Amino acid sequence: MKPIIIASKKDPAGMNIIQNIKKLKCKIPIYLVEEDIVHAENIDNYLKKQEKLDFDFIIFASKHQSVKKIKSLSVHPIGNWKNAEFGGKSETICQSNALIIKHFFQTLEKNMKNANLKEFNLTMESTHHGPYIETPSLFIEIGSTSEEWMDKKAGELIAQTIIYSVNTINKINNKIKIAFGIGGPHYCPNFNEIQLGNKFAISHIIAEYALPLTKHEITEAINKTLPKVNCVLVDWKGLGNATQRNHALELLKKFDLEIIKTSEGK
């Protein structure tokens, strides 16, 4: 794994994380962009061709915003199931490595417990924003207001999580099942619980608000997940009404995937 960390100069949370990474004398390359991070379209191609940088994974250090202003630390892949409202391309998601996302998420949980950071919620998020890139990546974020974005303890904890996760990437259990998720709310509590367990590694999540499910969404989730997907986790009660649930199940049966309800995957 040859990672690079990218943040926006306009992003107080991203800069908080970067400052703490520098304090820890991290050897991972860092690159700062001028624009909002979700609009850093094709930044991977630019860095490889114009800046001659060598990397195969991008870690975006960023802020998270939410209407409810919940204090949170989150990890998630990127892309758009429907219209691209916050960067990226419509109906296009980006490459995601389920094992790496799981490793970062589990490391973040351990660090939060060790730091006794009880005021923050740990969560994944359903896939929902840009930028569009072709290199596997993840976002790791501090949410959800300027108070949290500037929180020194949160910035230090995220920085430690990034460095430790990269340095221990060879400890990843690559024998577990690779999955993507369908259903449930944006902050996906059922998928969070499964991701912290030892049975599945989850990449992209299609939340209930991105339904009705389409063949294109399933194909995108399969094609944009590394390693190869072998199952799909379904939040059955979060698949909308009976018609939407039946429609989703009929579509999924057309693919060579094991279909597992989240209630059975914990």
* Residue 104: strand, helix, or coil: helix
- Nearest Cα residue to 169 out of 57, 26, 75: 57
Mean of pLDDT over the chain? 96
Q: Where are the alpha helices (DSSP H) in the chain?
A: 12-23, 43-49, 98-114, 146-149, 152-167, 189-195, 215-223, 242-252, 262-265
Lowest mean pLDDT among 20-24, 56-60, 64-68, 217-221: 64-68
Is 0.95 surpassed by the pTM of this model? yes
Q: Are 188 and 128 in contact (CB under 8 A)?
A: no
Indicate the helix (H) or strand (E) that contains 65. strand 57-65
User: In this structure, are strands 200-206 and 96-97 parallel, antiparallel, or unpaired?
Assistant: unpaired
pLDDT tens per residue across span 41-96? 999 999 999 999 999 999 999 999 887 889 999 999 999 999 999 999 999 999 99
pLDDT tens per residue across span 119-165? 999 999 999 999 999 999 999 999 999 999 999 999 999 999 999 99
